[in-house]
Structure formats: structure tokens, C-alpha cells
């Protein structure tokens, strides 16, 4: 019953948002891409932005064999309050790798993982850029079908860790500084966020207290006007209690450590440093496609060079050892704030290239 109510609420939210953005500028990007981890992936991304800068984003992906995702995000900025609603569902293969040799990419076993996220965020900005607020979130983790394990008996000891099912409820306190010229396409400024998550995790075997600290700092430096930009991102966090695997920090994938398999590494504390050199090559070029010309008469294009490096701490085994990926990408900027990003990345020590496509900057 509660799934039917959830679907009705999401449907009503989408209808109301679309009605509010009826006169908005919009952008749609259908396509397909290939990664070593997922194979071929069909994708479609949609963004609409109103005159008041209300922004609705929807993204859908499908790579076959019950793997795919659907994500919705609605952001409503106002002078006194900013509201954000996020809904996301992912179904993907949970690949398990060795927890002893961090550079080894050989897969031990896998199964189909399903993750659901619902979150509501409310921030109160101040004229000087400082802000405070709160976020409430619900996460649900399930597995579909049997776990496909390897032949070694030692590998089965990892199943209880990686294949723990359950849910997480949290209320977060947020404070920081927002001083970027544009959040979705930043050319200068800085951003700082501290967030404290308070909540509980639930499993069939019982519940655990969740007390999770995170900090996220970003700096954008113009080396040559807004044509050449150095973007820096330093993140870290610590969890103060033992929690299930699904509530721990993860590294690996497009959102943090590009070049590595998604969620390759886990732990109760982490640090991550990301650097991008963003170079614009074409600026304010007239759009040649009639369909897009009415919506986005001009566009800009360029490339990025980047590196991501970080590590995670496990209470039982210590640090994994610093992991680092390098890569390059292309960017198409559609004024004022839509960025299409295509990245290629690989680990510096071992492993092949991974391909990522997004309708947003990496940070």
C-alpha cells in the first residue's frame, strides 16, 4: 500500500512542478554511452528552469538486465528560504571486490541491488552568503534474487558485510557559506558546507545509532578571466558509531573518485581531494540547430583535465591506501547554467578507462 501512496505523491509532485515550469526554458539530452563496468547505457536527461530560477531535473538510465535509475530533483530558491526535493531509485549490480588488496579490480561476486532515496532540504540564506538549514532523508536498500558468489569459501565471509539490507532515517543540521556566481555553472567564488546527520539505521537484526559528520569545501579561481578556471574540492567526514555497510562512506564512481568502480571502497572516515582545470575554447557561439536556437541561441564549449584522490578508514583494518584517478573531459555550456559533461577517467596504477556523461558539472 505504501508503495502506491509513494508513487501517487511523486506523480503529483511532478505534475505540480511541470505546471509551475510551463513557461520555463528547458533542455533534453537523450543518448547512449559505454562504460567498462556497465556496458552500453541508454540515458535521457531533462532540465527546466523558470524565470525565478526554479530548477527541475529528471534523469533516466537503463543498461539492461534490470539495471537502471530514475532521479528527480526540484530546487526552489527564494530570498529568505531555499527548498530542495530529491527522489531517486537505482537498480544495479552490486560488485564486490577484494577488501585486502585495494588495487585489485577483480570481481569476487555480485547481485542486483535496489536503492531508494527521498530527501527534503530547507536552507535559510543570509545577505552575506552565510546559510543554515536542515534536511530530512529516508533511504531503503534491498537486493533482488540470489547472490552470485565465487568458489572460494573465504569470499562468503564478505556477504554479511556487503549484502546487508535495511533502511536509514536521518535529520541533518546544515550550515555554511554560499559565495559562487552560479551554483550549476561556477566561474568564480567559493562554497563551504558542514552537515551533521542524526538518525538511525534499521536491519532485520536490529537498529544502530547514526551520527555522521561531513564537510565540503570548494574554491574556483579564474586564471584567465572566465576562460580558464582552476576548480578545487576538498571533502571529508567521520561516522562516530558502527553502522551497516549501506550507511558508511563510499568512494568510486562519477560523484567522487572517477576511474574506479562505483562504491569500490568503504569506511567510517574519508577524505577526498578533486582538482579540475577547466578551459573554454568556444564562447557564445550561435546555435546552428533550428530546434534549439529558440531556446538556447548561443552556447560555449571547452575541455577539462582532472584528478581525483582520496582514502577511507576502516576501524578493523585501517586506511585502504590513497587511491587516485586521472582523466579528461568535454563540456558544452548552454547559458545560463546548463552544462553537458563527458568524462574519461582511469586509475593511475591499474584498471581500464571508464566513461561518464552528465547534465551537470562534477562539482
What mean pLDDT is predicted for residues 99-116? 82
Distance between CA 251 and CA 254 in Å, rounded? 10
Q: Which CATH number fits domain 2-358: 3.40.50.300, 1.10.10.10, 2.40.160.10, 2.40.160.50?
A: 2.40.160.50
Per residue in 157-166, pLDDT (tens digit) is 667 777 888 9
The answer, yes or no, to whether residue 152 has pLDDT greater than 50, is no
Distance between CA 146 and CA 358 in Å, rounded? 32
Question: C-alpha grid cell for residue 160?
Answer: 554479511
Report whether 287 contacts 239 (CB < 8 A): no
The answer, yes or no, to whether residue 347 has pLDDT greater than 70, is yes
What mean pLDDT value characterizes the chain?
Answer: 86
H helix or E strand, kind and range, residue 11: helix 2-20
Question: C-alpha grid cell for residue 241?
Answer: 558509531
pLDDT (0 to 100) of residue 16? 46
Side-chain half-sphere of 315: how many Cα atoms within 13 Å? 11
Which comes out higher in pLDDT, residue 39 or 248?
248
Amino acid at each position: 500500500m505504501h508503495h502506491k501512496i509513494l508513487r501517487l505523491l511523486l506523480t503529483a509532485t511532478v505534475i505540480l512542478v511541470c505546471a509551475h515550469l510551463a513557461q520555463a526554458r528547458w533542455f533534453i539530452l537523450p543518448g547512449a554511452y559505454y562504460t567498462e563496468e556497465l556496458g552500453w547505457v541508454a540515458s535521457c536527461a531533462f532540465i527546466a528552469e523558470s524565470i525565478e530560477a526554479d530548477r527541475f531535473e529528471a534523469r533516466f538510465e537503463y543498461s539492461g538486465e534490470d539495471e537502471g535509475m530514475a532521479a528527480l530533483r526540484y530546487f526552489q530558491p527564494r530570498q529568505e528560504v531555499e527548498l530542495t526535493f530529491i527522489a531517486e531509485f537505482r537498480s544495479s549490480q552490486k560488485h564486490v571486490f577484494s577488501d585486502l588488496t585495494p588495487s585489485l579490480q577483480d570481481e569476487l561476486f555480485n547481485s542486483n541491488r535496489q536503492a531508494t532515496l527521498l530527501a527534503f532540504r530547507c536552507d535559510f540564506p543570509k545577505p552575506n552568503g552565510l546559510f543554515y538549514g536542515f534536511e530530512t532523508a529516508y533511504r531503503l536498500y534491498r537486493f533482488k534474487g540470489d547472490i552470485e558468489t565465487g568458489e572460494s569459501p573465504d569470499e562468503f565471509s564478505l556477504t554479511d558485510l556487503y549484502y546487508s539490507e535495511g533502511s536509514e532515517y536521518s535529520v541533518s543540521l546544515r550550515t555554511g557559506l554560499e559565495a559562487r556566481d552560479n551554483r550549476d555553472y561556477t566561474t568564480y567564488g567559493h562554497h563551504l558546507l558542514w552537515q551533521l546527520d542524526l538518525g538511525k539505521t534499521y536491519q532485520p537484526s536490529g537498529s544502530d545509532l547514526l551520527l555522521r559528520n561531513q564537510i565540503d569545501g570548494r574554491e574556483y579561481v579564474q586564471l584567465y578571466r572566465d576562460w580558464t578556471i582552476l576548480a578545487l574540492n576538498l571533502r571529508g567526514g567521520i561516522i562516530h558509531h558502527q553502522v551497516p555497510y549501506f550507511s558508511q562512506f563510499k568512494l568510486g564512481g562519477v560523484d567522487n573518485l572517477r576511474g574506479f568502480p562505483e562504491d569500490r571502497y568503504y569506511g567510517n572516515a574519508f577524505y577526498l581531494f578533486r582538482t579540475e582545470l577547466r578551459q573554454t575554447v568556444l564562447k557564445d557561439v550561435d546555435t546552428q540547430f533550428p530546434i534549439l536556437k529558440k531556446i538556447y541561441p548561443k552556447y560555449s564549449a571547452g575541455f577539462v583535465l582532472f584528478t581525483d584522490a582520496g582514502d577511507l578508514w576502516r576501524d578493523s583494518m585501517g586506511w585502504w591506501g590513497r587511491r587516485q584517478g586521472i582523466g579528461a573531459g568535454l563540456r558544452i555550456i548552454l547559458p545560463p547554467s546548463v552544462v553537458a559533461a563527458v568524462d574519461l577517467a582511469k586509475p593511475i596504477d591499474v584498471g581500464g578507462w571508464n566513461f561518464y556523461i552528465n547534465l551537470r558539472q562534477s562539482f
